[in-house]
Structure 1
Amino acid sequence: MARSTVRPESEDRHVEEEQEVARRLLDSAAKLSYDPATEVDWDTPLDKDFHGASPEWSTLYSTAYWAELSDAQRKELTRQEAASVASTGIWFEMILQQMVLRDMYAKDPTDPRFQWALTEVADECRHSIMFARGAAKLGAPAYRPRRLAIELGRAFKTVAFGEAAYAAILVAEEVLDVMQRDWMRDERVVPFVRTINNIHVVEESRHMKFARDETRRRLRGASRARRQFHALVIAIASYVIVTSMVGRRVYESAGLDVERAVAEARANEHHKSLMRSSCAGLMEFLASAGLLTRPALAFYKRAHLI
């Protein structure tokens, strides 16, 4: 007997709703998008009287070492940390672009979801260039994740699919979003960095909406085994991303005692608390999607996201 090709009415309704979301995102992108090449002040020389990020977000803020640093040293440290976060953003945005393009490969180009996915990739290309120019203007070297993180990222972008890809995108963007919302409003932060953060926050809000919707869609009807497996993959990816944001080289570039800085940063309860509070909404979403399993929780706790 031939198998019916008629889709259930509920499935058609879901498709229509998802396409309508994509249309709204496309409309929003058409009305409110930025060109970093012209919106950011690239020409004015770096003013070292400013921080590169809100001091409270520094990995050393509230530590004994922070108390010993001069004002100039604190500002240099936050500039190097901001550049490192931007470089980590570039690394993950390149992973994101490859996953989205692979997911959309050979799909219906007339579908608004397909068109939105390409719009998102275009946004991420501009963001990566913007972050690269911003890091260079902050006077930072080319920060890169550890070799193990790079290889894990290479494996992840190759094998991750469905909800694992979109939920990992969401985790990375949510963590950046909260800190950048603080930085873009902080008048102590150098103006061109505030502009960069504002552009990223505005445009990434659409990406996060899409990632949440895609995560829910891909999990619709997922088996318990699939949900358990992808929950762990997402948590491991999140751990690698978050722990790659600021590395040892940052402290060296800022002229600090690297071993002491690393030790005090690892023990910094203020920074751990900031990370946990910034991820409260994200953890609530992952729990509602059934992605906060016991093994996954272990990695989120190690990354101080919960």
Structure 2
Amino acid sequence: MTAAIERENAGDNLISLQDSGAEQVSERLLRSAARLSRNAMTEIDWSLPMDPDKYGCSPEWSSLYGTDYWDELTHEQRVDLTRHEFASIMNIGIWFEMILQEMVLRDQYVGDYHSSEFQFALVEIADECRHSLMFAKASEKMVGTSYHPHPKIAQLGKSFKLLARNEVAYAGILVAEEVLDVFQRGCMRDERVLPFIRTVNEIHVLEESRHMKFAREQVRESVDGIGWARRQFSALSVAAGAYLIVSSLIQPKAYADAGLDVKRALAERRDNGHFHSMIRSSCGHLMEFLDEVGLLTKPAMHYYRKAHMI
């Protein structure tokens, strides 16, 4: 399946060379979705037992990897920690994918139903529904625990999905997708990770690559010709949303469920330079794109630095 992902990525250059505009890009993405879409509900045998020695994500992506606390943990504790951490990431992913679906539906509410742009938007919504179900099933199997953002952040998410429009909505979507992409690409190739989790990552990476192309084109079209004030407001709104998303990925409850001291875990994560560098590495392409379209302003960079995204 990795070959399919590489074929999909190779198409990035074709878009820039042959296509222009959301309609042309959407037409190509529709063809890709018809060829390469997958269904975890039928592809994964959810009844198979889990290998007790396999991680939930690559250990290097654990928020405590490289800390004194990590060094004190047994192999079994490290495995359990990574499983709860990735379950938290998947559950926060469900939360944001529900926000994403509502924003895309609203954007296309009275769209041109015969256009490729409208039809790919529906494909994206269908993909996100399947991804949310896949994440729910995977986290249930792996740890049996649900994780949610802090109630205040959940309320801010409601406000974001109601108010976000145009470049703010699609750049916000892009933030969540890009941050997870690098993380999941590494984990899906790591034989130390549970096989069904590797497949979950493969499916998500493949299908989100199309979503990211669609979001980038929507952002490019939305910012074309906008004024200084709107650009500044949009850049700051996206950055604030990015901070809330990234800081919510691993919930404190995940540490408690893994049997760790929550206060110590949070303190060591806060000062963990390795984890911060891993986050920055996952945001390189995102920051380049935001800079390209004029949404990486100085006020926005404050929030990205606060989240260790830059």
TM range (shorter): over 0.9
The residue type equivalent to 1:271 in the other structure is F
> Does residue 70 of structure 2 align to residue 50 of structure 1?
no
Match of 2:35 among 18, 31, 34: 31
> Does residue 184 of structure 2 align to residue 190 of structure 1?
no
* Cα separation, 1, equivalents of 2:134 and 2:188: 15
- Which ranges of structure 1 fall in alignment gaps of 5 or more residues? 1-14
The residue type equivalent to 1:219 in the other structure is V
CA contact 1:140–1:253 (8 Å) conserved in 2: no
Whose Rg is larger? Answer: 1
Q: Which residue does the alignment assign to 2:8?
A: none
Q: Which residue does the alignment assign to 2:164?
A: 160
Match of 2:25 among 18, 21, 46: 21
The residue type equivalent to 1:186 in the other structure is D
Moved more, 136-145 or 231-240: 136-145
Residue 109 to residue 175, structure 1, CA distance change in 2 (3 Å): same
* Cα separation, 2, equivalents of 1:79 and 1:206: 27
Q: Which residue does the alignment assign to 1:199?
A: 203
> Does residue 243 of structure 2 align to residue 239 of structure 1?
yes
State the TM-score, normalizing by the size of structure 2: 0.93
State the TM-score, normalizing by the size of structure 1: 0.94
Q: Which residue does the alignment assign to 1:304?
A: 308
The residue type equivalent to 1:177 in the other structure is D
Match of 2:131 among 127, 130, 133: 127
Question: Deviations for 1:253-273, whole angstroms, at most 9, x for unmatched residues?
Answer: 000111111110111000001
Q: Which residue does the alignment assign to 2:10?
A: none
The residue type equivalent to 1:132 in the other structure is A
Match of 1:276 among 261, 271, 280: 280
Q: Which residue does the alignment assign to 1:217?
A: 221
Match of 1:114 among 118, 124, 128: 118
Query: 1:247: Cα distance to partner?
Result: 1.5
Q: Which residue does the alignment assign to 2:7?
A: none
Q: Which residue does the alignment assign to 2:73?
A: 69
Question: Deviations for 1:89-136, whole angstroms, at most 9, x for unmatched residues?
Answer: 000000000000000001110011000000000000000000000000
Moved over 2 A (4+): 15-18
CA contact 1:80–1:140 (8 Å) conserved in 2: no
CA contact 1:61–1:270 (8 Å) conserved in 2: yes
Aligned to 2:249, the other structure's residue is in SS state coil
CA contact 2:21–2:221 (8 Å) conserved in 1: no
Match of 2:107 among 103, 106, 110: 103
Q: Which residue does the alignment assign to 1:4?
A: none
Q: Which residue does the alignment assign to 1:150?
A: 154
1:284-299 equivalence runs, <5 A: 284-299=288-303
* Cα separation, 1, equivalents of 2:258 and 2:52: 13
* Cα separation, 2, equivalents of 1:100 and 1:201: 20
Q: Please provide the CA RMSD for this pair.
A: 1.0
CA contact 1:47–1:190 (8 Å) conserved in 2: yes
Q: Which residue does the alignment assign to 1:259?
A: 263
Query: 1:293: Cα distance to partner?
Result: 0.9
* Cα separation, 2, equivalents of 1:291 and 1:40: 39
* Cα separation, 1, equivalents of 2:30 and 2:169: 21
Aligned to 1:128, the other structure's residue is in SS state helix
Aligned to 2:81, the other structure's residue is in SS state helix
The residue type equivalent to 1:300 in the other structure is Y
- Paired residues, number: 292
The alignment-based identity, stated in percent, is: 56
The residue type equivalent to 2:73 in the other structure is L
Aligned to 2:112, the other structure's residue is in SS state coil
* Cα separation, 2, equivalents of 1:237 and 1:164: 9
Moved more, 273-282 or 233-242: 273-282
Q: Which residue does the alignment assign to 2:234?
A: 230
